[in-house]
């Protein structure tokens, strides 16, 4: 399929980009391997936004607006992007004059050899999705940033005990709230091992074994840009969490997406950027 603009990733940044590009008159396709919404689909309550909207409702509104503007949605994983642009996917191939990469940060990683073996067996990347499975159990959250702290705070409402392991980093200021809870702790060490015969049973932090039925991994997230042949190609724009140093909030991603979509449309249509 031939397009003016292809947007890779249909999270908040990608959907905002698709809407802006389509509104600017570009024939636009937004491609996502999972379906629309990205991280929003894991967030029943969005902090830092007036009214704390539900993430899924917000994603649905963003999708509607992009579709109403004329953008099309394809569900596929983009496997290669070469300048020009040729876009290979695990489904059909696409071509575009300009591309917006809005691929987010991907799931967190601990960097342990056996972590994949615990995926779905106690290792999770979403407290809202899997936290209810561990009511009354001891759990760990790996990470130090604001959203890792928020995951720990949310889990503390239902689990027996939650430990935030910061992987050696300074925790976000909001971690002070965790210190006020009787069933929460902050540990500034690094996770060195996961163990368990039938699902996760313990997490080792610098050699100390903590009993844990679940670990929620928010640390070690990285932009999945390995499929991009030339990140500096003219006509290629980045938006949202995949941009180094991004604010990593919904509002920042939406604004960056809208800007990138407009710029991509201008490039594709040969107009000055608005
Ligand atoms: C646990 C957690 C809680 C948070 N809570 C809040 C909050 O309360 N308030 C707030 O403002 N912010 C919050 N944030 C931050 C906010 O969710 C993000 O900043 C924002 O959603 C990022 O949007 P994005 O579009 O850049 O990326 P994403 O939402 O990650 O979307 C990227 C999309 O790209 C797709 N993709 C990746 N690679 C490919 C490929 N090769 N081919 C096709 N598709 C691909 C993915 O499937 C995904 O759908 C939170 C983040 C986390 C992790």
pLDDT at 272 (0 to 100): 76
Is 142 a pocket residue for ligand 1 (Cβ < 6 Å)? no
Domains belonging to the chain, first-starting first, are 2-106+222-269 (3.50.50.60), 115-217 (3.50.50.60)
pLDDT at 29 (0 to 100): 98
Q: State how far the Cα of 97 lies from the Cα of 195, in Å rounded to an integer.
A: 49
Q: pTM score > 0.75 for this model?
A: yes
Low-confidence ranges of the chain (pLDDT < 50): none
Residue with CA at minimum distance from ligand 1 atom 2: 147
Judged on CB neighbours under 10 Å (0-12, 13-18, 19+), 185 is: middle
pLDDT at 274 (0 to 100): 63
Which residues have a Cβ under 8 Å from the Cβ of 10 and sit 6 or more positions away?
Answer: 18, 30, 31, 32, 35, 36, 37, 38, 63, 73, 102
Is 241 a pocket residue for ligand 1 (Cβ < 6 Å)? yes
Nearest atom in ligand 1 to the alpha carbon of residue 47 is 8
pLDDT at 271 (0 to 100): 86
Nearest atom in ligand 1 to the alpha carbon of residue 148 is 1
């Amino acid at each position: 399929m031939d397009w003016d603009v292809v947007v890779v990733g249909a999270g908040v940044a990608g959907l905002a980009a698709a809407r802006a590009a389509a509104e600017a008159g570009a024939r636009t396709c937004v491609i996502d391997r999972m379906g629309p919404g990205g991280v929003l689909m894991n967030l029943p309550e969005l902090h830092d936004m007036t009214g704390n909207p539900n993430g899924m409702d917000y994603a649905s509104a963003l999708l509607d607006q992009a579709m109403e503007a004329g953008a099309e949605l394809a569900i596929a994983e983009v496997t290669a992007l070469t300048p020009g642009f040729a876009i290979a996917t695990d489904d059909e191939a696409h071509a575009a004059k300009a591309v917006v990469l809005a691929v987010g940060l991907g799931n967190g990683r601990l960097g342990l050899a056996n972590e994949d073996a615990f995926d779905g067996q106690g290792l999770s990347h979403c407290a809202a999705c899997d936290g209810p499975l561990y009511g009354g159990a001891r759990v760990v959250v790996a990470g130090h940033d604001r959203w890792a702290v928020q995951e720990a705070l949310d889990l503390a409402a239902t689990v027996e005990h939650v430990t935030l392991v910061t992987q050696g980093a300074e925790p976000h200021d909001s971690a002070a709230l965790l210190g006020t809870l009787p069933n929460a702790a902050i540990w500034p060490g690094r996770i060195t091992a996961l163990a368990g015969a039938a699902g996760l049973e313990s997490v080792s932090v610098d050699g100390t074994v903590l009993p844990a039925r679940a670990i929620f991994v928010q640390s070690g997230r990285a932009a999945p840009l390995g499929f991009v042949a030339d990140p500096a190609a003219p006509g290629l724009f980045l938006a949202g969490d995949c941009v180094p140093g991004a604010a990593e909030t919904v509002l920042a991603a939406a604004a960056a997406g809208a800007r990138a979509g407009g710029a991509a449309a201008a490039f594709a249509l040969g107009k000055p950027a608005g």
